[in-house]
Amino acid sequence: MRPIKALISGDALRHNLGVVRMCAPRSRVFAVVKANAYGHGLMRATTALESADGLALVEIEAAVGLRKTGYARRIALLEGLFDVSEVALAARHDLTIAVHSREQLAMLDAAPADARFDVMLKINTGMNRLGFAPDEATAVRDSLLKHRAVKQLTLMTHFATADDARGVEWQVKAFDHVGADQALERSAANSAAILRFPATHADWVRPGIMLYGCTPFTDQSAAALGLKPAMTLASEIISVQTLNAGDRIGYAGTFEATGPLLAGVVACGYADGYPRHAPTGTPVLVNRVRTRTLGRVSMDMLMVDLTGIADARVGSSVVLWGEGLSADEVALAAGTVSYELMCAVAPRVPMVDV
C-alpha cells in the first residue's frame, strides 16, 4: 500500500472551535462543513465539532445524511435549494435554507402546505455573487415574514474583503440598512471577520477555514492566531537518487543540479491532490526537517532535496503540509490558498484519525 495518508486530528478541530468561541463569545456557531468538511471527512469533522450550535454546508445530500445519523441541531444550506423538487426533502429534514433569488422565493410558494422553514435571507452587500440587493431586500424580507412556509427568518450576508485592508465596513453599512427596524437574527461573519471584526459577529458566526487550522489572512499565520492544523498530509520517501552537476529531475527536466545532490522520491503526486503547479522550492518536511521540492510534480510522485537531512533514506517520513508546516505556506508557494489544497485531497488518499 502506498504510504500516503491524511491524518485528521479531532483534538485540533475541537481546539479551533474553542478559538472561535473565545473570539465570538456571545454568538452561536454554524460550523461550516461544505465540501466534505473542507476535505477532512464530513462525519469525522462533525463528530469532533459536535458542540457547535449548528452546521452549514451547500450539499443537500450531505445535510440529509447528517440528519439520518441523528444530528439534531440546525443544519443550514448556505446556497439554499437548487430545484423545487428539493423542497419537500428539505422540509422533512428540517433544514435551514438560504433564500438568495426570486427563483427560490417561487420554490417556497410551491412548498407543501405543512412545510415550515427556518430561512436565511441572503443579502448582496457587495460580493455580487448571491443575494438580493439591499434596496429590494426590505420588501423581500417583509413578504417572507408573512409567508406561510417561513417559521423563522435570519438575515445573512457574506464578506468579500474581510481578509484584507478594505475590511468589512463598506458592506456592514449596506447590511445594517436592511432590517434596522426589525429584531431579526443576523449572520455575517466568516473566519476573517470572526478574527478581526467583532462588531460583525451578531447572532450566528460561520467559521470555515479557521476550524481546520488555517489562516484566512496573508499577513498573519495560523500559529499566530492560535490555530492548530487539523489535517496533516503525510507520506514517505520511496527512493533516493544521487545526482551530479548537470543532471535533471523529472518531466521536462525543469530542475538541474549544479553539483552533487541527494534527491528523495516521495509517494505523493497530483493524483493525490498535491498541486501540480507547485514550483521547485515549495516547502516540505523530511524527518521533520524543512526542505524543498525539486522539479515538476508528477501524478503519483514528487521529488525533494535531501541535502543536510541526517538519516534521510527510503522510509523517511514526509509531511507535505500540516503538523510543522502550515498548508498556508505550501499554498502561498503554489499560488493558491489552503482551502483549495485541503478540498483537493483525492479519494484515493486514506484518512486516518489521530
Ligand X SMILES: *Cc1c(COP(=O)(O)O)cnc(C)c1O
- In the Cβ-directed half-sphere of 179, how many Cα atoms lie within 13 Å? 24
| Residue owning grid cell 478541530 | 13
Cα angle value 84/87/92 (rounded, 5°): 160
All three cell numbers of 308: 543536510
Please, what is the minimum distance in Å from the beta carbon of residue 211 to ligand X?
Answer: 8
* Phi/psi of residue 65, nearest 5 degrees: -60, -40
Q: Measured from the CB atom, is 3 or 226 closer to ligand X?
A: 226
**Sign, Cα dihedral of 203, 219, 35, 13:** negative
Catalytic residue flag (residue 251)? yes
CA distances from 289 to 233, 237, 318 (A): 15, 13, 9
Sketch the per residue contact string, 68 through 97, with ligand X: x for CB under 6 A, - otherwise.
----------x-------------------
At a CB cut-off of 8 Å and minimum separation 6, what does 300 contact? 2, 267, 268, 269, 271, 272
Among 126, 179, 216, 229, binds ligand X (CB under 6 A): 216
Please, what is the minimum distance in Å from the beta carbon of residue 184 to ligand X?
Answer: 17
Biggest alpha carbon distance in the chain? 77
Sketch the per residue contact string, 153 through 192, with ligand X: x for CB under 6 A, - otherwise.
-----x-------------------------------xx-
Q: Measured from the CB atom, is 79 or 272 closer to ligand X?
A: 79
Q: Measured from the CB atom, is 195 or 325 closer to ligand X?
A: 195
CA distance 286 to 158: 40
Q: Measured from the CB atom, is 157 or 280 closer to ligand X?
A: 157
- Residue 246: CB atoms within 10 A of its CB come to 9
**292 touches 314 (CB < 8 A):** no
**191 touches 207 (CB < 8 A):** yes
| Residue owning grid cell 534521510 | 312
CA distance 116 to 43: 27
Q: Measured from the CB atom, is 208 or 269 closer to ligand X?
A: 208
CA distance 104 to 300: 43
Among 12, 32, 55, 331, binds ligand X (CB under 6 A): 32
Please, what is the minimum distance in Å from the beta carbon of residue 264 to ligand X?
Answer: 33
Residue 232's nearest CA partner among 65, 106, 351, 62 is 351
Please, what is the minimum distance in Å from the beta carbon of residue 286 to ligand X?
Answer: 30
Considering only residues 269 to 328 of the shown chain, the ones binding ligand X according to CB under 6 A are: none
The SS3 assignment for 224 reads: coil
Please, what is the minimum distance in Å from the beta carbon of residue 25 to ligand X?
Answer: 18
Q: Measured from the CB atom, is 194 or 285 closer to ligand X?
A: 194
Among 39, 41, 134, 208, binds ligand X (CB under 6 A): 208
Q: Does 209 bind ligand X (CB under 6 A)?
A: yes
Q: Which stretch binds ligand X (CB under 6 A): 208-216, 222-230, 288-296, 330-338?
A: 208-216
Catalytic residue flag (residue 34)? yes
Q: Measured from the CB atom, is 80 or 134 closer to ligand X?
A: 80
Catalytic one of 34, 71, 212, 274: 34
Please, what is the minimum distance in Å from the beta carbon of residue 321 to ligand X?
Answer: 17
What is the number of residues in the chain? 354
Please, what is the minimum distance in Å from the beta carbon of residue 212 to ligand X?
Answer: 8
> Residue of minimal CB distance from ligand X?
208
Q: How many residues bind ligand X (CB under 6 A)?
A: 11
Q: Which stretch binds ligand X (CB under 6 A): 205-213, 228-236, 296-304, 312-320?
A: 205-213
Instruction: Encode 314-342: b = buried (16+ Cβ within 10 Å), e = exposed.
Output: eebebbbbbbebbbbbbbebbebbbbbbb
Positions annotated as catalytic residues are 34, 251
Residues at the site binding ligand X, with contacts judged by CB under 6 A:
32, 34, 78, 158, 190-191, 206-209, 216
